[in-house]
Amino acid sequence: MRRSREFAVVAGVGASLPSRLVTNEELASRMDTSDEWITTRTGIRQRFVVEPGAATSDLAVEAGARALKSAGMAAVDAVLLATTTPDHPCPATAPSVASRLGLTGVPAFDVNAVCSGFVYGLAVADGLIASGAFASVLLIGADTFSTIVDGDDRATVSVFGDGAGACVLRAGRSDEPGAVLGVELGSDGGLRELIIVPDGGSRQRSAGDSAATVSGKYFSMQGKAVYKHAVRRMTQATLDVLDRVGWSVQDVDLLVGHQANKRILDTVVAGLGMPADRALVNVDRVGNTAAASIPIALTDGVASGALREGRRVVLTAFGGGASWGAAALVWPDIAAT
Amino acid sequence: MDTVLLRITELIRELLPEYEGEIALSARFQEDLGMDSLNMVDLLSDAETAFDLEIPDSRLDNLDRVEGLVEYIVSVLREESDGADVRSA
């Protein structure tokens, strides 16, 4: 009889936030905004940003080390880093992270799906494990959006924070707690300009320095359109993954959405017909940390007790590209370190 | 037009349960009804569902009064029914 495929099973989680705390009050003291303005629109009260000279890999290494410790493992077969803010445009940052974790020699590469990066990375890790190529993968989501936002743009400065979160996945059975039971992914390149850093890539560089603009090096976001598409895609991706794994909306104990903005999370949960308390929310504490947001939320959820063994969890995200995705799993008995 | 206005008024009241004032055609979403930019997106999304039509993203930034939204929806519905007449002719 043919053996059923291996499933990726969550074995450990960990997170790392930079030390510099930026409160809404601090932002209000240096630009035209207020705690009330930011909190009403985003639900965000504070965020953390890296010190000058620090890089995405510094956070990724720390989060990765914590996830390995949580899993009780010293090594894995591959390292994946979901990020939009690599240390350098070239090469990928994952090999550097792997080496600093003492994992020189293992395959390591970056995945870029902006704020959907962790869910995309989870699908890749699941596929690598299902194929039998690897028995364990360290998946890290890490971003330092403070390095790409315009410091004078209140709409993005107030929303984004830096951070890293990580998850160790090992080969296992589908009936084990922690097994990733299903993943849904999608994209729409027609929406690429909703979330974009226009300059610095081949489109502008092939045209020369004269094609660069003052604002083009910064991250920009069409907030209202992003909100609309994020709500729709995160809701639909959730319904699609529930259909794939045979769960109803009522079966879900906790929805861990990309922590972009509390309003998006509230609207998605309401649209799904779930009670508001089914959404795990930590955007108030860390802001939108892009690819790091879901694994940081998972780590926070373990620490707070919101995520406990046996709870049925759906992850869902929307990000630049546009890209989106969702995943379903039953939470395992693990401790955050 | 009246039925569209009635439905839009219902959608606004669902979105703003604490708002008890009048909702006139001339009402401005932000200044008079106290809606913010994301309430607007929710309203347009709800209207898309209610009237089974699509409001382009470009419209998100240039509707400031109830009247503008009602007129836009009426015009789209009229175009659709004209198109249906042409196809059936």
Instruction: Give A194-231 pLDDT, tens digit per residue.
Output: 999 999 999 999 998 888 888 899 999 998 899 999 99
**Rounded Cα–Cα distance for residues A266 and A282 (Å):** 13
Q: Is residue B86 part of a domain?
A: no
For range A283-302, the mean pLDDT: 97
Residue of A nearest to B56 (CA): A225
The residues on A that touch B, with CB distances below 8 Å, are: 40-41, 222-225, 227-228, 231-232, 263, 267
Q: Is residue B88 part of a domain?
A: no
Q: What does the mean pLDDT of chain A come to?
A: 95
CATH number 3.30.470.20 given to A7-172: no
Q: How far does B56 lie from chain A, in Å, by closest CA? A: 9
Q: Do A232 and B45 touch (CB under 8 A)?
A: yes
Return all residues near A7 (Cβ < 8 A) that are at least 6 apart: A126, A129, A130, A171, A172, A173, A174, A176, A179, A180, A181
Place of tokens 């400065």: A157
A180-330, which class in CATH? alpha beta
Q: Do B41 and A232 touch (CB under 8 A)?
A: no
At A2, is the pLDDT very low, low, confident or very high (cuts 50, 70, 90)?
A: low
How many independent structural domains does chain B possess? 1
Residue B6 corresponds to which tokens in the numbers above?
């009635």
Q: Where are the alpha helices (DSSP H) in B1-89?
A: 2-15, 37-51, 66-88
**Rounded Cα–Cα distance for residues B36 and A155 (Å):** 14
Q: State pLDDT tens for residues A124-180.
A: 999 999 999 999 999 999 999 999 999 999 999 999 999 999 999 999 999 999 999
**pLDDT value of position B85:** 58
Q: Is residue B52 part of a domain?
A: yes
Q: Is residue B51 part of a domain?
A: yes
Residue to mutate among A228, A231, A268, A269, with most B CBs inside 10 A, is A228
How remote is the C-alpha of A90 from its chain's centroid? 21
* pLDDT at A193 exceeding the cut of 50: yes
CATH number of the domain enclosing B28: 1.10.1200.10
Residue to mutate among A191, A227, A235, with most B CBs inside 10 A, is A227
How many CA atoms lie less than 13 Å away from A214 in the CB half-sphere? 1
Q: State pLDDT tens for residues B36-86.
A: 888 899 999 999 999 999 888 888 778 889 999 999 999 999 888 876 655
Tell me if residue A254 falls in helix, strand or coil: strand
How many CA atoms lie less than 13 Å away from A30 in the CB half-sphere? 11
Domain regions of chain A by residue span: 7-172, 180-330
Residue of B nearest to A42 (CA): B38
Q: B42: which chain A residues are within 8 Å (Cβ-Cβ)?
A: 267
For range A248-262, the mean pLDDT: 97
Q: How far does B88 lie from chain A, in Å, by closest CA? A: 33
Q: State pLDDT tens for residues A76-96.
A: 999 999 999 999 999 999 999
Measure CA of the first residue to CA of the last residue in chain A; give whole Å.
Answer: 41
Return all residues near A157 (Cβ < 8 A) that are at least 6 apart: A27, A31, A149, A150, A151
Q: What percent of chain A has pLDDT over 70?
A: 99
Residue B57, domain extent: 2-80
Pairing between β-strand A78-82 and β-strand A136-144 as defined by DSSP bridges = parallel
